[in-house]
Amino acid sequence: MKKFLANIALFAVTVLVMAGMFEVACRTVADTGLQYDIEMWKYATAIKRIAADPAIGHEHTPGTAAHLMGHDVTINGLGLRNRELAVEKPAGTTRIMMLGDSIVFGWGVAQDKTMSVALEHDLTEGGFGPVEVINTGVGNYNTAMEVAYFLGAGAALKPDIVVLNYFINDAEPTPTYTPVPWYAKRFYAYAVTGGAWDIFKRKLLGGPEWKTYYADLYRADQPGWRAAQGGIKRLAAYCREHGIRLVVTNIPELHELAPYPFTQVSADVAALAKAEGLEYLDFLPAVAAEPPPSLWVTVPDPHPNAKAHALMARSLADYFLLNRTPPG
């Protein structure tokens, strides 16, 4: 019996030692500062929290900070990756609110190089007048979540212009968020093994090719696309009622640009905007001439980098400078 217990104890100690060594390896070897799964895990555990409104799902925790994908990320008192803002708009200033997901948030991009900051700079330099651009982007948001945020906390900031930045995965359904166990928040090994398991499942079980996956989101029977359309319609109705200018932009998927494989999706979004009487701007022409990898945060991660943010911001600034009031 004593020998049996001794063997159990030895096994337990061995497992603990090996687990500890694996955790150390994850922190020192796997964590390069640019490993997508680990950096997203840091973002989720250090910056995000479950939102009280299930339509929003999750949100940034005000006053938090982290170093993600090589850049410092700070969240202001309103839960935004933005400088500190007064709720009341400064007199004589045009306030522009950028709605979006991790792209607008600026995943893998320094805060002063994000599209929102670049837009404010380009408009100021172009003589637009006093302008304040607010970045409300949150990673993993879809259009329905962005609209739910705006109709709650966002509307209180009383923007003059709202820019809904649409990306192809915004037609994914809104997930349900539940509290994660304590170990999921503390151990790097959790993020590493989770990412490895996802890769293993895809290779073992298969799944749709990425082009097919995105295209399938826009089938008429898909609830996420229906929710995105409903969200845009609700946002359009609110903006019309409150005299807010609403512009819809389309951010291209950066894996392939020429020819672009999702022209039908872009056309569907443009048609929805037109049906609601909204202004629409496609960012594809702003980046189409560039080699796609030159626009990525890292070669495995096709989030737009600072160069792509600058090109899209320039396109939007030029649009506003040409159309200081809605065209038509």
Does 57 share its domain with 19? no
Does 7 share its domain with 103? no
Place of tokens 């839960």: 79
Does 7 share its domain with 57? no
Q: What pLDDT, on the 0 to 100 scale, is given for residue 30?
A: 87
Whole-angstrom distance, CA of residue 156 vs CA of residue 278: 22
Does 74 share its domain with 220? yes
Q: What is the DSSP string of 122-187?
A: HHHHTT--SEEEEE---TT--HHHHHHHHHTTGGGG--SEEEEEEEGGGGSPPPP--PPPHHHHH-
Does 213 share its domain with 289? yes
Q: Look at residues 311, 275, 266 and name the one whose alpha carbon lies nearest to residue 114.
A: 311
Distance in angstroms between the alpha carbons of the first and the last residue of the chain: 88
Does 160 share its domain with 306? yes
> Which H helix or E strand runs over 15?
helix 2-25
Does 107 share its domain with 249? yes
Residue 102 lies in a domain: yes
Residue 328 lies in a domain: no
Does 184 share its domain with 283? yes
**Domain total for the chain?**
2
Which amino acid type is present at position 88?
E
- The residue segments making up the domain with residue 23 are 1-30
Per the CB < 8 A criterion, the answer to whether 101 and 139 are in contact is yes
Tens place of pLDDT per residue across the chain (328 aa):
677 667 777 777 777 778 788 778 889 988 999 999 999 999 999 999 999 999 999 999 999 999 999 999 999 999 999 999 999 999 999 999 999 999 999 999 999 999 999 999 999 999 999 999 999 999 999 999 999 999 999 999 999 999 999 999 999 999 988 888 888 889 888 888 887 777 766 666 666 788 999 999 999 999 999 999 999 999 999 999 999 999 999 999 999 999 999 999 999 999 999 999 999 999 999 999 999 999 999 998 999 999 999 999 999 999 999 999 998 7
Whole-angstrom distance, CA of residue 80 vs CA of residue 43: 13
Does 22 share its domain with 112? no
Per the CB < 8 A criterion, the answer to whether 62 and 81 are in contact is no
Per the CB < 8 A criterion, the answer to whether 283 and 312 are in contact is yes
CATH of the domain at 279: 3.40.50.1110
Does 26 share its domain with 158? no
Does 162 share its domain with 193? yes
Instruction: Report helix, strand or coil for 63.
Output: coil
